[in-house]
Each structure stands twice: as structure tokens, then as C-alpha cells.
Amino acid sequence: MRRAAALALALAALFAAQGVRAQGQAVLDVMDNRGAMLGWEAVGRLDTPGGFCTGALIARDLVLTAAHCVYDRASAAPIPAGRILFRAGYHRGTQIAAREVSAWVVPPNYRPAPGGYQSGPAIASDVALLKLSSPIFSSEADPFIIHENPPEGSTVSVVSYGRGREEVLSRERDCAVVERYRNGELAFDCDVTFGSSGAPVFIRDNGRLRILAVMSAIRQDERGRTTVAFGPGVAGVVPALAARLRKDDSRATPGTGARRVGVGGERRAGGARFVRP
């Protein structure tokens, strides 16, 4: 597989429109009742002013998502933590638990570009860790564990919200890692959609699902079909982000080297179209 062209559009922090995989129509499990969500309560909708992303609990008070989700789409300004709401197990207007965000951090080497376009290195560090205003008890939602990067070709699944199904959680059970890059970026044949930004990519390890990556961007062909999805592996990033949050919440805001990421329209390059899911 050839490396994606220099610029790729970030996954939108907003809304989802179901895509079609080049290999065929993706099969989604739509969790349209509370019973179907059993075991997935730690995945939630991350509501921001004017839009939403998907996030997942990795500790009682920590949520993992994409870095571009914590920046305003239009102005490119960082979103104040208190204006972000995590709704664990969100389903048709209700949730298992809701918490405001008290602080967030992104990697120091994250370099977003205005207008929503991102380089490969930006996608590789498109990770954010959010600290909640108060913990969510494990009896409400059991946090997921981070997994190390698997060998190429490993089967993964994606759980997210999206436009047209933003009120319910959906899961694509069977997609795969198709490429790994030296900078930590992974490529998937998963069918992700607008609103899937920050969605956890799961891999099964000894019968348990663990988070391998978060969704960041997609590439489409000339007919608007999703051909490849991209996201950063999180195993090497999360511990440092968690340490920053635990050390001093007052520093858990964008600082030196943690610039904003914009989201915008689309750009054509090399015959492929890069769009924000």
C-alpha cells in the first residue's frame, strides 16, 4: 500500500454519514436498545459546542479521543474544558453517566494545520486525553485497557456514533489493520463515518477487547467511497498524557507545541480524496 499523500483531512468532530468500504458494504451492529449496549457503557458521545465526537473511558476519570476533537471547527481555537461533556453509554437522549471535562492534554508534537488538513505526523499524534470533573464508577461503566500495536493484518473493530445514527452506538465488528507506519500511524479498512472522530479501535486479546488506536482521518476515492481509515496507535502516547494530567491539572491545556487542529472541507491529492469522518 502506498503512503497516503502529504495532507489528509482530519476526521470531523461533527456528525456522521455512513460510508461504503471499497471492499464492499460494511456490516454495522446498531445498538438500538439498552440491552444491546451491555459491556459498551464506557464508550460515549463527547459533546462539544456545535458538534460531537466519540470517546472511551480508560480510567474512572479519563477519556480517550482524538486531539482534533478538542478544537473548535470554525475558529480553530481550543475548546475550554468545561464546555465539553462526556456522556458514557449515550442512547437516545439518556446516558449511563454524564461528566463535564475539567482538563485535557494533547501530545507536545501534535502539529495541526489550519483548515482541517493534517500531515501524516499530525495524524500519528492525533490523540487527546480528557480528565473528568468527577470519576465514573466502575459499576456504571467499566473502563477499557490500552493494547500494544498488533502485527499487520490483525482483525479489529470500531465502536462509534455518527450522523444518521448519532443517537445510538454502532459497531463494525470485522475490519483489519492493513498498514503500519514508523511514526505510529495505522491504516485500517474500516468503514468510519462523520462523527467517528476519536472512536476507539478495539483488538481482542485473550478474549478481552482492548483499545489499539483512535480514529483520525479517512481517504476516499473519486466516487466518495471510503478506501482507507487512519488513526494513531495509542500505547506509546497515553502514559505520558496521563502523567501530565495527574501531575498538575492546571497545566492540562494546550501549551507549547500543542497547537490547534482545524477541520474543514476536502482536498484532492494523488487521485484520492481525503475527507473528515
Q: Tell me what pLDDT residue 257 has.
A: 31
Instruction: State which residues of the chain have pLDDT below 70.
Output: 1-26, 74, 76, 111-119, 149-153, 224-226, 248-277
Predicted structure pTM score? 0.81
Q: Tell me what pLDDT residue 247 has.
A: 81
Q: Tell me what pLDDT residue 110 has.
A: 80
Structural domains for the chain: 8-249 (2.40.10.10)
Q: What is the per-residue pLDDT across 189-221, written as a single tens digit (0 to 9) for each?
A: 988 877 788 999 999 988 889 999 999 988 877
Cell numbers found for residue 54? 466519540
Q: What is the per-residue pLDDT across 141-159, written as a single tens digit (0 to 9) for each?
A: 999 999 976 666 689 999 9
